């Protein structure tokens, strides 16, 4: 499985093109629809679904147009249960991680030790909890849930650089 990172929109959110066997998932398409389409076309991939980690416009603004272009479903907190999922050829687990928003989810591709955390977890930081539906107590509970996972897991956040869970456990002040 490969992960391409596209910086999109004025907030430079991370949109991910996760691909394997000529198929791809689009994670958090927040802006720059034409850029995303051109990248998928250039890589000669067939999109199979769009996954949304949370509903802020910098992460979901062009999900519906892309869904129409490719005739593919959009999956998010409202239609993904906290369990294992299979969207051919991708296997992943959904972990509910509210705090930044009440609909925040983490996508865990356990075969590859990769998590897509949206704005729940960043490199040495966490997402703000002062937006509507944000909740600091829920953020702490979500952090405690994620702490149980293996240190070697790579974290692909909604903004900025990737990290590892081990690094966050050691250096992220919210993990104390």
Q: Using one digit for the tens of pLDDT, what is the confidence trace for 28-83?
A: 999 999 999 999 999 999 999 999 999 999 999 999 999 999 999 999 999 999 99
Tally the domains of the chain.
1
CATH of the domain at 147: 3.60.15.10
pLDDT at 176: 85
pTM: 0.97
Range of the domain at 169: 2-175
Q: How far is CA 6 from CA 31, 34, 64, 151, in A?
A: 10, 12, 18, 25
Stretch 8-15: mean pLDDT: 96
pLDDT at 114: 98
Stretch 124-151: mean pLDDT: 97
Q: Where are the alpha helices (DSSP H) in the chain?
A: 33-42, 57-60, 63-70, 136-146, 165-171
Closest CA to 67 of 86, 55, 87, 50: 50
Question: How do residues 92-101 score in pLDDT, each as one tens digit?
Answer: 999 999 999 9
Stretch 1-20: mean pLDDT: 97
User: How much is the mean pLDDT over the chain?
Assistant: 97
């Amino acid at each position: 499985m490969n992960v391409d990172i596209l910086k999109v929109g004025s907030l430079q959110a991370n949109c991910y093109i996760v691909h394997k066997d000529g198929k791809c998932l689009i994670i958090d398409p927040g802006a720059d629809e034409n850029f995303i389409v051109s990248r998928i076309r250039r890589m000669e991939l067939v999109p199979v679904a769009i996954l949304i980690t949370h509903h802020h416009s910098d992460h979901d603004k062009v999900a519906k147009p892309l869904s129409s272009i490719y005739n593919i479903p959009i999956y998010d907190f409202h239609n993904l249960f906290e369990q294992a999922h299979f969207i051919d050829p991708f296997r992943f687990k959904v972990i509910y991680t509210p705090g930044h928003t009440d609909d925040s989810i983490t996508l865990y591709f356990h075969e590859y030790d990769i998590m897509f955390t949206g704005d729940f977890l960043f490199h040495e930081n966490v997402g703000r909890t002062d937006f509507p539906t944000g909740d600091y107590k829920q953020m702490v509970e979500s952090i405690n849930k994620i702490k149980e996972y293996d240190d070697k897991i790579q974290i692909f956040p909604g903004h900025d650089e990737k990290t590892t869970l081990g690094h966050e456990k050691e250096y992220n002040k919210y993990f104390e």
